[in-house]
Structure 1
Amino acid sequence: MAEDVEDTEPLRGFTAGITAERKAAELGALLARRGARVRYGAAMHTVPVDDDAELTAATEAVLARPVQHVVAVTGSGFGGWIESARAQGAGERLLAHLGSAELLARGAKARGAIRGAGLRESYTAPTEEVADVLDRLLAQGVAGARVVVQLHGDPMTGFRERLRAAGAEVLPIVVYRWTDPVDLGPLDALIDAVIDGEVRVLPLTSAPAATNFLARARRTGRGEALLAALRTNVLIACVGPVTAAPIAREDLPHVLPERARTAALVRLIADEAPRFARGDG
């Protein structure tokens, strides 16, 4: 009896479109290793706001009075905030201020950034979802508390509204802003490739990229055509629920890995894409 041989290139014949800016090459390499053809079209450009007056003002608001809880959503965002404060000469003051608060991490990367700053978290969400952090805060009560929420990508409007409804003062910290990519050509070409049926797999790793991918199509008169293609001809795979939010708002079918990790996303795509193409999904 012949032994079953694992297919090391399950994505042979598939073209994947990558909208990411950060780690696009890493994601593309993982997909290509499994046989996929890869097209790149960054959907956004990340701009740090180290000298941004709004971030400086937000930091000063945090420093104005004691804070009871600090939510770190991403490692790069939390670390960027501390670096920005240092650039403004307020780094050590901010760290001392945050040291007296309860620090809650959405996941391992946020926890690493907290520890890298010399602080210590009291809680890390087991599922790496902000819903767990929200449940913990609401369970222990936040009435009258000042809660700092470091945002990254999604504005987390619902999260913040729930805290305010429970009596908290919420202090949002925005560390990065997103703009259109410097070169719109690759993004426009990727949108066309999805509409034309060339791209069958769309891995998404950030909410801003997902949002601007759809928005760019609308601004250029291709919104309905793109949505039609995404509903019927493309396997959309989002790395986690935050990334999936703009996709879910459009009621587009999508899949998510059990863990919000790039490797888990690629494994999911390798498993699901052949079934999707056969119509088994």
Structure 2
Amino acid sequence: MNDDRTARPLEGCTVGVTAERKAEEFGALLTKKGAHVVHGAAMHTVPLPEDGELAEATRRVLASPVAFVVATTGVGFRGWLEAAEHDGLGSGLVEHLRSATLLARGAKALGAIRGAGLPDAWSAPSEESSEVFDHLLEHDLAGKRVVVQLHGQPMTEYREKLRAAGAEVIAVPVYRWTDPLDLDALDHLIGEIVAGRVDALPFTSAPAAANLLDRAQRLGRGEELHEALRSRVLLACVGPVTAAPIARAGLPYVMPERARTGSLVRLLTERLPGS
């Protein structure tokens, strides 16, 4: 392998990016590796202070003491506290959560808990949601109020298991997504994929994956897109939560060993032809 290929292993490859919040950072990593990037955000994040659903969930949390709090993402947990602060409920929410047992999905969520001055009780070594909820279900949850900070997906299966164990579950929808602000860019990306001009499509969030598939269906291009994704495009998902919509669609995908953006880029350099 020559020096250029070693330094720019994605030279000659086109990679689609559907992220909104980290699109520039993600695109820069890919471009540095030599890839041509086609960007089409697949969703738009509703600003937290404007989200009435989140404010209502916070009021429900504050209505009575809670026994357990599950923090699934660092940025989400911090965002929830910041949104509460915007509504004049910030200090009250932190004090309200202080008596609860807090569980973190991973290091970033744990850091957000500590950053708020709250005691952390336990963090999942695998950083997987399933491990957090398995640990929580080992406790007696009958009649207990359990707060689950969502990270985009409704986590319906986990919430139903908690309710079956007798818990009152309060879902805090910190992230809520709508269609992207620039639908034309997403439609262009779908067209490029269908035309065979995209080599890889990495996903860093489940809503982006789900909305890409849904948008193609609404355009009447669902079957074309599925065929392209099955036969010509390398689908890569940062982790199992992100991969869920892809798996449900029966599409093949790969994942890095660590759920990190940098690991996702490295996986593309290893799997794409010529890398």
TM-score > 0.5, shorter chain as reference: yes
Give the shorter-chain TM-score range: over 0.9
Q: Does 1:115 align with 2:114?
A: yes
| Separation in structure 1 between the aligned mates of residue 102 and residue 60 of structure 2, nearest angstrom | 18
Tell me which residue corresponds to 2:184.
185
Match of 2:257, SS? Answer: coil
2:48–2:80 Cα contact (<8 Å) kept: no
Q: So what's the TM-score if we normalise by structure 1?
A: 0.93
1:18–1:38 Cα contact (<8 Å) kept: yes
Q: How many matched pairs? A: 274
Tell me which residue corresponds to 2:13.
14
Identity value in percent? 61
Q: Does 1:37 align with 2:36?
A: yes
Q: How does 1:221-260 map to 2 (within 5 A)?
A: 221-260=220-259
The RMSD of aligned alpha carbons is 1.7
Tell me which residue corresponds to 2:270.
271
**Corresponding letter in the other structure for 1:236:** L
Poorly superposed stretches of 4+, deviation over 4 Å: 3-6
Between 55-64 and 259-268, report the one with greater CA deviation.
55-64
Unaligned runs of 5+ in 2: none
Tell me which residue corresponds to 1:124.
123
Tell me which residue corresponds to 1:162.
161
Unaligned runs of 5+ in 1: none
| Separation in structure 2 between the aligned mates of residue 248 and residue 99 of structure 1, nearest angstrom | 38
Tell me which residue corresponds to 1:202.
201
| Separation in structure 2 between the aligned mates of residue 120 and residue 4 of structure 1, nearest angstrom | 52
Match of 1:60, SS? Answer: helix
**Corresponding letter in the other structure for 2:87:** Q
Q: Does 1:86 align with 2:76?
A: no
Alpha carbons of 1:199 and 1:4: their partners in 2 closer, same or farther (altered >3 Å)? closer
**Corresponding letter in the other structure for 1:144:** G
Tell me which residue corresponds to 2:260.
261
1:127–1:259 Cα contact (<8 Å) kept: no
2:148–2:172 Cα contact (<8 Å) kept: yes
1:70–1:101 Cα contact (<8 Å) kept: yes
**Corresponding letter in the other structure for 1:260:** A
| Separation in structure 2 between the aligned mates of residue 152 and residue 242 of structure 1, nearest angstrom | 10
Task: Provide Cα deviations, 1:234-280, integer angstroms capped at 9, x if missing partner.
Answer: 110001111111111101100111111101111111111128x9xxx
2:152–2:174 Cα contact (<8 Å) kept: no
Q: How does 1:64-75 map to 2 (within 5 A)?
A: 64-75=63-74
| Separation in structure 2 between the aligned mates of residue 38 and residue 57 of structure 1, nearest angstrom | 39
| Separation in structure 2 between the aligned mates of residue 123 and residue 233 of structure 1, nearest angstrom | 43
**Corresponding letter in the other structure for 1:158:** E
Structure 1 residue 4: Cα displacement: 8.7
Match of 2:46, SS? Answer: strand
